[in-house]
Amino acid sequence: MSLATRTLLSIMMFLQFFIWGAWYVTAPNYLGTIGFGAEDFGWTYSVGPIAGMITPFFVGMIADRFFAAQRVLGVMHLLGAGLMFWATQKMAGGGSPSEINWIFFGYMLTFFPTLALTNTLAMKNMSDPEKEFPGIRVLGTIGWIAAGLALSWLGFEKGINMFYLTAGAAAALGVFSFMLPNTPPENGGKVTFRQILGLDALVLLKDRSYLTFIIASTLICIPLAFYYQITSRIVEMSGLPIGQTMSYGQMSEIFFMIVMPFFFARLGVKWMLAVGMLAWVGRYALFAMGAPDEVRWMIITGIVLHGICYDFFFVTGQIYTDKAAAKPIRAQAQGLLVFFTLGLGMFIGAQIAGKVEGQHTPDNTKLITMAENEDQKQRLTASLGDDKAAETMKHWGELPSINDDMVSVNNEIIALNELGNKELATVGLMQTDGNFTTLPNAIAGLNKSKSTRLKELETNQAALNEEKKARRTSELRAMEWKPIWGKPAIFAGVVMLLFVAVFRENTSSNPDKSDDEATDGNERDSVN
C-alpha cells in the first residue's frame, strides 16, 4: 500500500469516528435542557441499535455490486450531514423530543452502514489487511478522542454546537470520500436475499459454545446502553470536562489493544471474555459508589475501564467469530454478531435504561418535597459541604417553576409561528370592523407586533435555558444514582457468572482447515 493511499484511508477513518464521538455520548447534556426526559433518551439511544439491525439490508445493497464503495460512502455522509443539520434546526426551533428522535433515526440509518463501508473500503485497498488494517483502524479511535477533546476545548459539550460540529464533520467526510481510492463493485456472483440478511451464518448457532457466546453477548450489551446513555451526566455533575473525560475510555482502548495479544495467548477466549465482562461489573459498581458523592477518581476509573470492556470482550468476540465461521460466511457471521450486540442487545438496553432512569429521577413535585426535607439536606451536606448543599436544595425548589416557564414560553412561540396571513387577516377584520380599506395597515401592525413579541419570547427562552443550565448540576444531584448504576452492575455480574459456568470453548479444528485437509486427502487418494 502506497503512502498516499495510507494517508487517505487514515483521514477517512479519523473523520468516521470523529463524527460519532462528536455527539453520541454528550448529547444528553444538551438535550436534557430542551425538554428531553428519561424515556425520550431511551428512544434517542434506541434508534442507533434499530439502525444496526436494519444495516444488513444496506450492506446487501452495497454488495449488490452496482456502486463504487467510496461514492456510496460519500452520499451516505452527505445525507447524514443534512439530517443532522435538520435536527439542529428542530432543536433551535422548539421541536418536540419525538420529532428530533425521528430525525436521529434517519441519521443513524445513514451512519451505521458507513461503519462497515469504511472497513470494506480500507481492506480492499490493502495488500496485507492483517498487518496494515490495525494501523489504519487506530486512527478511528484517535478521531473519537479528538472529538471529545474538541468538545471540551471549544465549550460545545453542553450546547447545540456539538450537533453543528457533527454535521460539519459529516459533510467534510462526504466530500472527502470522493477523493478516496476508487473501489469499484466486484464482478462476483449474484447476491441472494438470504446472503443480504446473513441467514447463512445462523448455522453457527447449532454450536452450543457459540450459542452460549451469542446469548451472553446480547445480554451483556443491555447494561452497555447505560454507559452510553447516562455516563456523561455523572461526569457533568462532578464538574469534570465532559468530552475530554469521556475520551479517556478510548485512550485506554489504544493501550489495551496493544497488550491484548499478550493476554490472549495466556487466557484464551473464555477468560478473555470473562475478564471483559468483569470490567463491566467493576465499571458500574464504581459509578454506583462514586456518583452519589461525586467521587471523581471512581468516575474516571470507571471510564478508563472501557479499554478492557471493549477490547477484551468485543475484539475477542470478533476473533472468536472469525475462527468459528467457515470462510464463505465470515462476513455474514460478523454481521450476525453486530445484529445481536450493537443491534438487539443495545436496543433492549436503551429501553430499559430509559425506564430505570425515569424510575429514579424525581419529578417536579418530588423536587419541591426534597428541597424541604431535612434528611436530604444532611445527606448532601455530608458529601458536598454546607454551601453546595444549600445551593442545591434551593435550586431543587426553583427548578419546577423554571421548567413551567420554559414550557409556557415554548408554547407561545409555537402558537405565534403558526399564525399565518390568513389568521392575521381574520383578526385584522375584527379590529377594523370589516373595513377592507384599512385592513392592510392592520395586518402590517399585527405582523410587527408578532415579530416584536417573538423576539421578546426568544430572549426569554434563551435566558431560561441559561438559567436551567446553571441549575443543571443541582438537578442531576436529585437523581438516585446508586440504583441507576447498581442494577446494571448486578445484571452484568449475573451474566458473567452464568457465562463462566456454561461456556465451553470449542477446541475442534477450524472449518476451513478441515475443508482444506479433506481436499488434500482427496487429492492424495486420486494420485495413489
The dihedral sign for the CA sequence 293, 297, 298, 299: positive
Least confident of 157-171, 233-247, 289-303, 439-453: 439-453
Question: Please, which pLDDT band fits residue 193 given cuts at 50, 70 and 90?
Answer: low
386-417 and 374-384 helices, crossing angle to 10°: 110
| Residue 502 CB neighbours (<10 A) | 14
- The Cα 506–Cα 253 span in angstroms is 28
**What's the pLDDT score for residue 435?**
57
What number is the average pLDDT over the span 388-413? Answer: 79
Instruction: Specify the pLDDT at position 443.
Output: 65
Given the C-alpha cell 440478511, which residue does it identify?
Answer: 197
> What angle do helix axes 346-359 and 208-237 make, rounded to 10 degrees?
40
CA nearest to 306, candidates 286, 280, 274 = 280
H/E stretch holding 121 reads helix 97-124
C-alpha 280/C-alpha 141 separation (Å) is 20
The CATH class, in words, for 1-185 is mainly alpha
pLDDT at 153 over 80: yes
The mean-pLDDT minimum among 189-198, 237-246, 390-399 falls in 189-198
Cell 424525581 belongs to residue? 362
Domains of the chain by residue range: 1-185, 199-324+489-528, 365-477
C-alpha cell at 86: 435538520
- Per-residue pLDDT band for 518 (boundaries 50, 70, 90) equals very low
pLDDT band with cut points at 50, 70 and 90 for residue 64: very low
pLDDT at 175 over 90: yes
Is the pLDDT at 258 greater than 70? The verdict is yes
pLDDT tier at 525 (50, 70, 90 boundaries)? very low
115-119, 153-157, 388-392: least confident range: 115-119
Locate 182 and state its grid cell: 476508487
- What single letter denotes the amino acid at residue 184? P
Q: What is the rounded CA–CA span in Å between residue 279 and residue 304? A: 10
**pLDDT value at residue 302:** 92
> Is 90 exceeded by the pLDDT of residue 328?
no
Q: Which pLDDT value is given to residue 523?
A: 39
Indicate the pLDDT class of residue 202, thresholds 50, 70 and 90: confident
DSSP string, 492-523: HHHHHHHHHHH-----SPPHHHHHHHHHHHHH
Nearest 5°: the CA angle 395, 399, 403 is: 160
Per-residue pLDDT of 452-487, as tens digits, reads: 888 888 888 888 877 777 777 888 888 889 999 999
